Structure 1
Amino acid sequence: MLYVIYCLDKPNSRDLRLATRQDHLTHAKAHNDAIRLGGPLLTDDGDGMVGSLLIVDMPDKAAVEAFVRDDPYFKAGLFEAVLIRPFKQVLPIAE
């Protein structure tokens, strides 16, 4: 099942994000087969990162929650909020 993971960083956490970024990417790479789309949420000017958005294909919400809990960003306390929701892909429309 597809799930959206929407994470917002705590204010003024740029340095923490950058310090844990490589470990986060290593964690993501280990789950590459489950990740359908992912990347940072950006500031309005596109210059900074303020969160993360992923769409993952995992068997259930418990698996997604475990994936998030094991993420170095989460372990470092980077996120102010994490939202996990089931997702149904409708677009683009297959012809």
Structure 2
Amino acid sequence: MMPLFAVICRDKPGALHIRMATRDAHLAHIRDSGIVTYAGPFLQDGQMCGSLVVLDTTDLAAAQAWADADPYKAADLFVSVEVIEWKKVVG
């Protein structure tokens, strides 16, 4: 098993329309990359407001490259993106 990396993204306030317009392309990126272990949106007051994606890939550079290629990033959805190595302990 390769190392795991968490991609932690926070949406810009009021950007739900960008998320929804780009969602199909984002989900295709997840599906087609073959390295996503877990993925899902953060929720606040019932609305999507960010993303958590866990990648199983070779190194931090590969994880960062995945995050940089995310259609959400190209659509300027995020106010912040953090990519950090993550260790699975439970589950």
Q: Deviation of residue 88 (structure 1)? A: 1.1
CA RMSD of aligned residues (A): 0.9
Percent of aligned pairs sharing the same letter: 38
**Are positions 1:14 and 2:13 aligned together?**
no
Number of the residue aligned with 2:78: 79
TM-score normalised by structure 2 residue count = 0.92
Number of the residue aligned with 2:41: 40
TM-score normalised by structure 1 residue count = 0.89
Could you report, residue by residue, the CA deviation over 1:33-60 in whole angstroms, capped at 9, with x for unpaired residues?
A: 31111100011x3x21000001111101
Could you report, residue by residue, the CA deviation over 1:45-91 in whole angstroms, capped at 9, with x for unpaired residues?
A: 3x210000011111011111111111100011100001111111111
Number of the residue aligned with 2:25: 23
Q: Determine helix, strand or coil for the equivalent of 1:81.
A: strand
Runs of 4+ in 1 over 2 A off after TM superposition: none
Unaligned runs of 5+ in 2: none
> Rg bigger for which structure?
1
Q: C-alpha separation between the residues in 2 aligned to 1:23 and 1:88?
A: 28
Unaligned runs of 5+ in 1: none
